[in-house]
Amino acid sequence: MIDLRSDTVTKPSKEMLEKVLEAELGDDEYKEDPTVNSLEDYCSELMGFESGLFVTSGLMGNQISLLIHSNPGEEVITTKDSHIKNYEHGAAAFLSRTQFRDIESTSGVYDLDSLSETIKESKVNKPLIKVLASENTHLASGGSILPFEHIKTLSEISKSNGLKFHMDGARIWHAILTDPQSIEYGKYCDSLTFCFSKGLGAPIGSMLMGDKNFINEAREYRKKLGGGMRQVGIIASAARYAIENRDHLLEDHKKASDVNNSIEKDNRSFHTASYKGTNMLFFSFDTPDSAEIFRKKLEENNIISGFIKKDIIRLVFHKDVSINEVNSIVEAINYSSSIDI
């Protein structure tokens, strides 16, 4: 079976596991694990932040950021379809006890007029807005890349309104490799988290970055949340291998784009196939039932697909899909969409 549910399904390669065996270890609670310390420095220097903290997951990085940047009852601006709001199991309500305020957006790009209006209105008779959150790449629209200029604008808006700017960069390396100039997020964001365990292909872990004070506080919260770890170089070494070998993400873009360019564009059961330039291909359907039939047909043809909503199926390309499998994926899609639904 070719598993395209997500880019989280990859297995560590032999080369990655060899790095794990060689890793120097210590107790990270005493800040004595050299592999973790060096990974935190490597990532924060790469992206222009003062400091970094290795955390268990993207969710932990996002939620620690909200805990630090806001107080209960205050608000976090986000897009209606963001991960931090919709897919983190209510963690913000549970932990920081903030609420979200949605702003109109297209593929993760905020409507700037609505944003200014909302910030202006919040000054009177409304909860205090403390955080502006953004997501790059933007998952719900199919892995869209936010223009770096937009990120700079959001940073300026945050600064001039006394808000903290947080970036959920779970898949940010897909965006950075596409536009290598756009790496200096430390200049523009108060905090950023990215995941090693998605397209980058490591089994566990995310990096949270910010200034020194932010990271000191984040270390405290990580402990409170049960995320303090010991000889964690075991997993940080796999993460280090993943980030140093990140260029393969561009091959994943090519696989997704090749499939998108090769599938039959007529006589299909889905009404749109959309490709947003990274490693995902989304198919939207008129009804959840037709999506389910398509999903089953793909499975009969050895392709496991994922759902983003009941009527939107996603195929996510990753390092464990070989370029030689592109043809069979195209054939499976063409077969599944030629069936009467």
The smaller minimum CB distance to ligand PLP, of residues 232 and 333, is found at 232
Residue 303 binding ligand PLP, by CB under 6 A: no
CB atoms within 10 A of CB 272: 10
Which stretch in 56-64, 123-131, 238-246, 262-270 sits in contact with ligand PLP by CB under 6 A?
Answer: 56-64
The smaller minimum CB distance to ligand PLP, of residues 205 and 269, is found at 205
Question: Would strands 306-309 and 312-316 be described as parallel, antiparallel, or unpaired?
Answer: antiparallel
The smaller minimum CB distance to ligand PLP, of residues 196 and 241, is found at 196
Nearest Cα residue to 6 out of 286, 317, 264, 301 = 317
Whole-number Å distance between alpha carbons of 171 and 40: 18
Helical (H) or strand (E) element with 259: helix 249-262
**Residue written as token pair 């020194």:** 212
Q: Which two tokens stand for residue 162?
A: 């006394």
Amino acid identity of residue 30, one-letter, is: Y
Please calculate the CA angle 101-104-106 and round it to the nearest 5 degrees.
Answer: 130
Q: Which two tokens stand for residue 302?
A: 């050895």
The smaller minimum CB distance to ligand PLP, of residues 166 and 295, is found at 166
Residue 86 binding ligand PLP, by CB under 6 A: no
Q: What is the DSSP letter of 16?
A: H
* Residues, the chain: 341
The smaller minimum CB distance to ligand PLP, of residues 86 and 334, is found at 86
Residue 40 binding ligand PLP, by CB under 6 A: no
Residue 195 binding ligand PLP, by CB under 6 A: yes
Whole-number Å distance between alpha carbons of 96 and 206: 20
The smaller minimum CB distance to ligand PLP, of residues 206 and 337, is found at 206
Which stretch in 42-50, 54-62, 65-73, 119-127 sits in contact with ligand PLP by CB under 6 A?
Answer: 54-62
CB–CB of 169/176 below 8 Å? no
Whole-number Å distance between alpha carbons of 296 and 322: 22
Residue 139 binding ligand PLP, by CB under 6 A: yes
Residue 28 binding ligand PLP, by CB under 6 A: no
Residue 79 beta carbon to ligand PLP: minimum distance, rounded to whole angstroms = 11
Among 43, 103, 170, 332, binds ligand PLP (CB under 6 A): 170
The smaller minimum CB distance to ligand PLP, of residues 9 and 183, is found at 9
The smaller minimum CB distance to ligand PLP, of residues 197 and 305, is found at 197
**Residue written as token pair 């770890």:** 229
CB closest to ligand PLP, residue no:
58
Residue 55 binding ligand PLP, by CB under 6 A: no
Among 28, 74, 168, 325, binds ligand PLP (CB under 6 A): 168
Q: Which two tokens stand for residue 35?
A: 């592999």
Whole-number Å distance between alpha carbons of 157 and 137: 20
Among 58, 143, 210, 227, binds ligand PLP (CB under 6 A): 58
Residue 6 beta carbon to ligand PLP: minimum distance, rounded to whole angstroms = 7
Which stretch in 51-59, 207-215, 226-234, 256-264 sits in contact with ligand PLP by CB under 6 A?
Answer: 51-59
Which stretch in 31-39, 58-66, 212-220, 264-272 sits in contact with ligand PLP by CB under 6 A?
Answer: 58-66
Question: Would strands 51-55 and 206-210 be described as parallel, antiparallel, or unpaired?
Answer: antiparallel
Cβ within 8 Å of residue 254, ≥6 positions away: 323
Among 70, 98, 122, 206, binds ligand PLP (CB under 6 A): 206
Q: What is the DSSP letter of 247?
A: G
The smaller minimum CB distance to ligand PLP, of residues 59 and 215, is found at 59
> Could you check whether the bond before residue 193 is cis, i.e. omega within 30 degrees of 0?
no
Enumerate binding residues for ligand PLP (CB under 6 A): 57-59, 62, 83, 135, 139, 168, 170, 195, 197, 206
